[in-house]
Structure 1
Amino acid sequence: MIRTTGLTKRYGSLRAVDSVDLDVRAGDIYGFLGANGSGKTTTVRMLLGLVLATSGTIEVLGEPMPRSRHSVLPRVGALIEGPAAYRNLSGRTNLAMLDAAGPGGSRRTRRTRVSDALEQVGLAGVGRRPVKNYSLGMRQRLGLAAALLRTPELLVLDEPTNGLDPQGIREIRELLLGLHAQGTTVFLSSHLLAEVEQLCDRVGVLDRGRLVVQDQLSALTRPTGRVVVHTPDPSHAVALLSGVTEAEVVDRDGQRLVVAHPDPARLNALLVADGVRVRELVDQRRSLEDAVLAATGPGSDHVGAEAPSLRAGAAA
């Protein structure tokens, strides 16, 4: 669906995007992670032909970009750097004008398409209200509605939950999962680890313009080879395991133990047989945050769970 080779964008001496090789496959929900200033938005704008690359190649839906933009873009829905709209017109009128300006949209079905898009993003009841009276979250929803007008094969979204409250974020997440279930490939650019971890199945991480990670989320969050044990008898468990050659308690925090052991089932049996009460015993998995920190290294502006990182002077 999206493939780039050596994609590079320079602004003078600054390499905003540096030799990026993206591989977004049909059926992916691909999370494109990076701190603000890492080059995410510049990359997305190049994918859609809004910014010309300094060097490298881009294919979207199997066709070269930006040369094939007239045949490709009608099949792509996009929300980049926040929605644009005429503030004095209603959301419904904005969508109708946008639909009329684009190629391939039937005038006969325009009203239905606009109504369906507003319904999908939760704006059906306020579609006739002037956009100047919309909150930031409502404007974000309107931008997403615009991206959905043509039932796109590929949906490219840059920070789609910006300005939304927790309920709104959940609704957008459920909407994207529903679209994906119907066959839409989703490319989601974000700085929020939690958003990507809950929604995406493949992940790419951009750090200072370079793609430092690209893999299945399940591979990035694989088991560490350690076991997390929750027990009301931590001292008893530690004393027992100190005499077991194949077990090592590597961390203790109250009633939570992290144990290096090759077989969780055998570890559980060992503890229970000696009278240790085990409330929970699970494989420890590496978090997405751990994977990102390992890939980006010290001194980087990391993506985060809540707020964006800022780096002065860097391109978005």
Structure 2
Amino acid sequence: MTAVIATSALVKRYGRLRAVDGVDLDVREGDVYGFLGANGSGKTTTVRMLLGLVLPTSGDVELLGQRMPRAARRVLPRVGALIEGPAHYGHLSGRENLALLDAAGRGGSWRTRSRRVRAALEQVGLGGVGRRPVKAYSLGMRQRLGLAGALLRRPELLVLDEPTNGLDPQGITEIRELLLDLHRGGTTVFLSSHLLAEVEQLCSRVGVLDRGRLVLQDQLATLTAPTGSTVVHTPVPERVRATLDGRVTSVDGQRVVVRGADPAEVNALLVGAGIPVTALALERPTLEHVVLAAAGTTSDRVEAQR
């Protein structure tokens, strides 16, 4: 599969601080890639280097198969980006802000530009307020407007840094559905976030950054695949331990983990022994457990919930 983002030994130093330390990103065509890390882990610095906004101290960056920042003029018109919150002219309307941005980008006739602006505003749920001055927008509305600006180019690659910042739960759901629609239409999405729940619901592939180092990179399905054990919920956990002697690996309240990847077989043994079972499922690690195992206690700032 074609690499859309590829970095090799990417480093960014600020004095003695290595903000990014030898990162090898591999984002492929068709990915919804979740770039996870605690606040201050180096995510935004990495994203800014990808887009040529910050020069790396050492290492290489390729975007859409071309070296950055050397190929920026050819590559960036094919990329939509929202980094560190959108910047807008507060006295202008959302529509006017997007019109200025579009005129500096794709160009075309006034009618064509107006149609693109209107479509982008409607995509992000701002169709009814596009004529209101941006200074009257809430933080969530400004975030939506920034995303609309990233969508003006109909990008092949969409690079987003904390795109749901400031949104209420309904807004988060709407943006999630929008990103999934864009992905189904062929857009590769690179999503930098510290919210595990957001990434778990959206992404097919994840990378985890910890203190500037990429400590994990793989398919989400692989990282959260069944462990080969079954989780049993029962009001009598000690009877499960006695019945399945040697197969119980942990007991936590009414939750019992049993070696064996066939829940039906485990259930038959327990029911046959007269043990009540309230729930049964294959054990799968959550993304939270995977991230904490890879990045250690510094990732306690990576949030499972908003």
TM class, shorter-length: over 0.9
One-letter identity of the residue aligned with 1:282? A
CA spacing shift, 1:106–1:280, aligned 2, 3 Å? farther
CA spacing shift, 1:29–1:304, aligned 2, 3 Å? same
For the pair 1:5 / 2:4, whether they are aligned, the reply is no
Counterpart secondary structure, 1:150 = coil
CA contact (8 A) 1:248 1:261 kept: no
Match of 2:40 among 19, 23, 37: 37
Counterpart secondary structure, 2:231 = strand
**How far is the alpha carbon of 1:59 from its aligned partner?**
0.6
CA spacing shift, 1:86–1:35, aligned 2, 3 Å? same
Name 1:270's counterpart in structure 2: 269
Match of 1:168 among 171, 174, 197: 171
Counterpart secondary structure, 1:223 = coil
Name 1:251's counterpart in structure 2: 251
- Cα distance in 2 between the residues matched to 1:292 and 1:249: 22
CA contact (8 A) 1:57 1:64 kept: yes
**How far is the alpha carbon of 1:228 from its aligned partner?**
1.0
- Cα distance in 2 between the residues matched to 1:39 and 1:234: 44
Segments of 5+ residues of structure 2 without an aligned counterpart are none
Match of 2:126 among 111, 123, 126: 123
Match of 1:211 among 214, 235, 248: 214
One-letter identity of the residue aligned with 1:269? A
CA-to-aligned-CA distance 1:227-271 (integer Å, 9 cap, x gap): 1112355454344223xx5x22511313x3222335333211111
For the pair 1:224 / 2:236, whether they are aligned, the reply is no
Query: What fraction of aligned residue pairs are identical, expressed as a percent?
Result: 71
- Cα distance in 1 between the residues matched to 2:74 and 2:111: 22
For the pair 1:201 / 2:216, whether they are aligned, the reply is no
For the pair 1:138 / 2:141, whether they are aligned, the reply is yes
CA spacing shift, 1:179–1:225, aligned 2, 3 Å? same
CA spacing shift, 1:144–1:188, aligned 2, 3 Å? same
Segments of 5+ residues of structure 1 without an aligned counterpart are 308-316
What pairs with 1:1-316 in structure 2 (closer than 5 Å)? Answer: 1-103=4-106, 105=108, 107-242=110-245, 245=246, 247-248=247-248, 250-254=250-254, 256-299=255-298, 302-306=301-305
- Cα distance in 1 between the residues matched to 2:22 and 2:39: 19
**How far is the alpha carbon of 1:35 from its aligned partner?**
0.8
Name 1:314's counterpart in structure 2: none
CA contact (8 A) 1:47 1:58 kept: yes
- Cα distance in 1 between the residues matched to 2:252 and 2:82: 46
Counterpart secondary structure, 1:187 = strand
- Report the aligned-residue RMSD: 1.6
- Cα distance in 2 between the residues matched to 1:171 and 1:108: 28
- Cα distance in 1 between the residues matched to 2:209 and 2:19: 11
- What is the TM-score normalised by the length of structure 1? 0.91
CA spacing shift, 1:248–1:29, aligned 2, 3 Å? same
- Cα distance in 2 between the residues matched to 1:150 and 1:103: 7
- Cα distance in 2 between the residues matched to 1:227 and 1:88: 59
CA contact (8 A) 1:241 1:249 kept: no
Name 1:313's counterpart in structure 2: none
- Extract structure 1 runs of 4+ deviating beyond 6 A: none
Q: Which segment drifts farther, 188-197 or 295-304? A: 295-304
**How far is the alpha carbon of 1:155 from its aligned partner?**
0.2
**How far is the alpha carbon of 1:76 from its aligned partner?**
0.4
CA contact (8 A) 1:3 1:60 kept: yes
CA contact (8 A) 2:86 2:146 kept: yes
Q: Which segment drifts farther, 137-146 or 213-222? A: 213-222
One-letter identity of the residue aligned with 1:252? D
Work out which structure has the larger RCO, using CA pairs closer than 8 Å and 6 or more positions apart in sequence: 1
Counterpart secondary structure, 2:228 = strand
**How far is the alpha carbon of 1:222 from its aligned partner?**
1.9
CA contact (8 A) 1:250 1:260 kept: no
